Amino acid sequence: MLRFSHPLRRDGLRGLIFLAITAASSTVWAQTSPAAKVDPLVDSLTLRQKIGQLQQSNAEPKTIADISDELRAAIREGRVGSFLNVPNPEVANELQRIAMTESEAKIPLVFARDVIHGYRTIFPTPLGQAATWNPELVEKGARVAAVEASSMGIRWTFAPMIDISRDSRWGRITESFGEDPYLTSVLAVASVRGYQGKEGDPTSIAATAKHFVGYGAAEGGRDYNVTYIPEPLLHNVYLPPFKAAVDAGVMSIMTAFNDLNGVPASGNDYIIDRVLRREFGYNGVIVSDWDSVLELIPHGFAEDKKQAARIAFNAGMDVEMVSTTFQENLFSLLDGGKVSESELNAKVSRIIDMKRKLGLFEQPYVSGDPEKAILTDEHKALAEQAALESLVLLKNDKQVLPLARGKTVALIGPLAHAAHDQLGSWVLDAKKQDSVTVLDAFRKILPESKLLYSQAMYSSRSRETDFSQVLELARKADVIVFVGGEEAVLSGEAHSRADTRLPGTQELLVRELKKTGKPLVAVLMAGRPLALNDVISEMDALVMAWHPGSMGGPAIARLLMGDAEPVGRLPVTWPKVTGQLPLYYNRPSSGRPAEEGNFTQMDDFPLEAFQHSTGHKNHYIDIGFKPQFPFGFGLSYSNAVYSDLKLSKKTIGVNDTLEVSAKIRNSGKRPVTETVQLYIRDLVASSVRPVRELKNFQRVTLKPGEAKVVKFKLTKDDLAFYNQQLNWVVEPGEFHVWIAPNAEEGLQGQFTVR
Ligand code: NOJ
């Protein structure tokens, strides 16, 4: 076994540079904390002013007149360092004026807000953006959000959310980039770059990688629930996106609500101090989640606010969001020697450093005309492009899509004209009148006589059962386009679902529509993959649209009409039924793996015979082991054929680079953009390794008949993992490698590491 010290990552994710290979075992945390540099300004501050920098307050004065005397006094006395939720430039400027001219310290405030997938121009939810597998587009989307938000005085966002999400019951999966550590890492870097732009630029806003760490592993997919993550898993799966964000220069990191292996993340010195500060060398700001320091009390981890403040402070927290345990207790904790002033100075320095990098000392006020920055044609065009590339064509029997020209379309369903719901979760500043719905878009494309519309149900959750009028309308059409799924409120924070099927009576509606005998195209908008086992056979075509944002309507209409090609790929494994969750492609190898071919539908067999036929394998007897659709899956209107897998060598040394290539040919009649995925499997190791792991991907566009050779490089960085002792190791032996269209198919090769 060869052990490495931790890789130093430069230049994004690829091109990783390793420190010298060492035969000695060294645990990942045995590294020193980055030297805390103290800002010269800190010496001139009083204790109160220092503690004030650590406070982030929620204040929503809508107008200057709403600013209370108490709030003015708090700023004047330096009792607050940042605000969240002041989305009004005049109010922000007035609060800033007090800080800059009436306070003694004259440290600018910074205004924060959850700008998650757009400010006014709303892009697809992060899960939808992940389905684009297009980091450049994700970066541009974050840039648009930053330009719009900064025009309102917002210079700090709480995004990207990079929690690995393997359980789609969890409502916040919609805010994530899905289940894969590599894809999430790549998109985390893109997103940080987009938000932060150039240092000192007035449109640069501080990004926040959140929630540190493991929040997506909430047991049972129930929000705020306990998480248990063994350390090798933490290091191999949950931490890499945060490491990538740190290396990309993310200015802040938010701690999570959950307790991790018994210690609340917001008071967890192991993850904050040892992992983030020492192992990753992170020198930026660490901010709590809303009240999460105070919540150490209901967690039963602190007996009162004073103890909560001490634990969080000493664990490494810099900024306390909303709750005021620091403000109330740090004087006496300092006095009693329970926390140190040098630590306080380091925290204040990090906060001031962030404000300096944002250029707030030079330009504390927001100027310019937000109207010119917001909802520009360019922003809307980008949002439409992102929506288009997020659409995943999952099924297309008998090529029902693209829709034939000149036919009558019946557009039916609760989300076909749902301007608010198509925006999804976390759209604090969006206005539904800025959305273009699917109905709006079809009205522009089709003549009135060729378009029929019915909402069919009051909402995605409602339980109508009489669809007679809808069916009458459907019978008059040549093709039915059903637009359903989950309205926005069914996903997001505190909106986990125990049953992830189509809500309300939508399954019934789909069955009834199918009975008309018309081709049925389903377009689903939802915050998560939906369990469609009971209804998918009724759908001739299926397009997953996530919550596509302001411009979702035109994107969907263009795709359905064949004015654009489907390019999206799943960033999550799609279950057949909720009971399969948690479900993810990179599962560790089982001692009794289920195999393709030994599973037959239970209905066809007496149970005994069925069990006999399937054996004692790693599956469910009623649903097997396969997902509905694998991670990475997505169809196009054309056909990409993979061939000629080539490996530059059969055997490599640990320091060698292996080149893997394959030919991708468009054998269809339309252009295709294929997301070519590179997976590996370490066949025998000292820890059970995943059956596949994504290591890279490339998007390649091919004209009909065109072929291209796609080449990847595999280095030791791709082959290494954290073993049981938390050493970063490559273990010599056999590896499988795939160049593949998704996590279940592809061309498979084999090589040996000496
Ligand atoms: C709670 C959420 O967990 C977090 O993601 C968000 O940024 C904060 N509230 C601030 O609104």
592 pLDDT higher than 50: yes
Ligand 1 binding pocket (C-beta < 6 A) is 114, 158, 210, 289-290, 493
The dihedral formed by the CA atoms of 18, 19, 24 and 29, expressed in degrees to the nearest 10: -90
Per-residue pLDDT tens over the stretch 131-159: 999 999 999 999 999 999 999 999 999 99
Supply the pLDDT for residue 611: 55
Pocket mutation for ligand 1, best pick of 56, 116, 158 (most atoms within 8 Å of C-beta): 158
**Rounded (5°) CA angle 43-46-52:** 110
Supply the pLDDT for residue 597: 57
Q: Are residues 689 and 604 in the same domain?
A: no
26, part of any domain:
no
Range list of β-strands (E), 180-222 = 208-212
8 pLDDT higher than 60: no
Q: Are residues 647 and 707 in the same domain?
A: yes
Return the DSSP state at 687.
S
Which CATH number does the domain housing residue 65 bear? Answer: 3.20.20.300
- Cα(434) to ligand 1 centroid in Å equals 25
Between 730 and 11, residue with greater pLDDT: 730
3, part of any domain:
no
As for how many domains the chain has, the answer is 4
- Reply yes or no: is the peptide bond before residue 732 cis, omega within 30 of 0: no
**Choice among 114, 163, 223, 289 that is catalytic:** 289
CA 321 to ligand 1: nearest atom: 10
21 pLDDT higher than 50: no
CA 161 to ligand 1: nearest atom: 5
Burial of 246 (0-12, 13-18, 19+ CB in 10 A): buried
Alpha-carbon distances, residue 407 vs 351, 403, 410, 446, 456 (angstroms): 60, 8, 10, 9, 21
Helix or strand or coil: residue 217?
helix
32 pLDDT higher than 70: no
414, part of any domain:
yes
- Please confirm, yes or no, whether 289 is among the known catalytic residues: yes
Q: Are residues 114 and 165 in the same domain?
A: yes
639: which residues sit within 8 A by CB, 6+ positions away? 666, 667, 668, 672
Supply the pLDDT for residue 615: 75
Q: Are residues 665 and 713 in the same domain?
A: yes
Q: Are residues 85 and 122 in the same domain?
A: yes
Q: Are residues 436 and 487 in the same domain?
A: yes
Percent over 90 (pLDDT), the chain? 90
Per-residue pLDDT tens over the stretch 412-469: 999 999 999 999 999 999 999 999 999 999 999 999 999 999 999 999 999 999 999 9
- Cα(290) to ligand 1 centroid in Å equals 6
Range list of β-strands (E), 187-236 = 208-212
Q: Are residues 544 and 616 in the same domain?
A: no
CA 215 to ligand 1: nearest atom: 3
Average pLDDT, the chain: 94
Give the end of a domain, one of 370, 398, 421.
370
CA 210 to ligand 1: nearest atom: 5
272, part of any domain:
yes
Percent over 70 (pLDDT), the chain? 93
403, part of any domain:
yes
Supply the pLDDT for residue 26: 38
Pocket mutation for ligand 1, best pick of 83, 266, 290 (most atoms within 8 Å of C-beta): 290
623 pLDDT higher than 80: yes
- Cα(389) to ligand 1 centroid in Å equals 27
361, part of any domain:
yes
Nearest-CA residue for ligand 1 atom 1 is 290
Which CATH number does the domain housing residue 668 bear? Answer: 2.60.40.10
Q: Are residues 124 and 262 in the same domain?
A: yes
116, part of any domain:
yes
Q: Are residues 308 and 448 in the same domain?
A: no
- Cα(205) to ligand 1 centroid in Å equals 17
Structural domain containing residue 608? 586-626
Residue 434: phi and psi, rounded to 5, are: -85, -5
Q: Are residues 237 and 114 in the same domain?
A: yes
Which CATH number does the domain housing residue 460 bear? Answer: 3.40.50.1700
What is this structure's pTM? 0.95
pLDDT confidence tier of residue 609, bands split at 50, 70 and 90: low
Q: Where is 7: in which H helix or E strand?
A: none
- Cα(285) to ligand 1 centroid in Å equals 16
- Cα(648) to ligand 1 centroid in Å equals 48
Q: How many Cα atoms are found within 13 Å in the side-chain-facing hemisphere of 590?
A: 11
Nearest-CA residue for ligand 1 atom 4 is 289
196 pLDDT higher than 70: yes
CA 158 to ligand 1: nearest atom: 7
514, part of any domain:
yes
Give the whole-angstrom CA distance, residue 119 versus residue 137: 16
Range list of β-strands (E), 298-366 = 320-321
Per-residue pLDDT tens over the stretch 503-547: 999 999 999 999 999 999 999 999 999 999 999 999 999 999 999
AA identity, residue 179: E
Nearest-CA residue for ligand 1 atom 10 is 290
